[in-house]
Amino acid sequence: MGQPIITYLPGSWDLLHAGHTRIIRAARELGDFLYVGVSTDRLIKEYKHTSPIIPYKYRVEVLKELKLVDYIIKQDTFFDIEQLRPYNIIQIVLGSDWKGKSFPSLDACCKALDCDVEYIAYTRALSSSKIKEKIIKNAIPIIRSQTKRS
């Protein structure tokens, strides 16, 4: 019996939705164990230039409840080689929306850890960005609905 296949799936996981659960399921099926990286609020603000809707500790809490997730890794920086080295990660999984983009820290990490990158089809119809856009578009009806409930 060989070494277990440990898959690493990083993400922000803000406003968890079916697109997220689809990639989590697909990543889990690629190996024996699925380790999920969760970006800190600071890291998200740094690269998305906006804070997440759901704070880090609550995003972690939700992900820990998913039976497909074996372990959570706090992601303070992208693909921190020294942070990931102890986990013996065999493959890193990303959404196909990242394919073809320049990501030097990913390349360095894969080389140092001798791991592969797999890309899972991105669910275009479902994204946190689209959810946020829909909330903004419907802001007035949402506010009216909330004030009626108060």
Average pLDDT score over the chain: 91
Positive or negative, the CA dihedral 76, 77, 78, 83 is negative
**Predicted local distance difference test score (pLDDT) of residue 46:** 95
pTM of the model: 0.88
**Out of 17-21, 66-70, 131-135, which region has the weakest mean confidence (pLDDT)?**
131-135
The predicted model gives 104-130 an average pLDDT of: 88
Residue 127 pLDDT > 90, yes or no?
no
98 vs 87: CA distance, rounded Å: 23
Farthest CA pair distance, the chain: 62
Residue 150 above 70 pLDDT?
no
The residue with greater pLDDT, 69 or 123, is 69
Q: Would you place residue 91 in the very low, low, confident or very high pLDDT band (cuts 50, 70, 90)?
A: very high
Q: Is the dihedral of CA 94, 100, 102, 104 positive or negative?
A: positive
Fold of 6-125: Rossmann fold (3.40.50)
State the residue for tokens 């399921």.
25
pLDDT in the model for residue 1: 65
Domain residue extents for the chain: 6-125
Average pLDDT over residues 18-42: 96
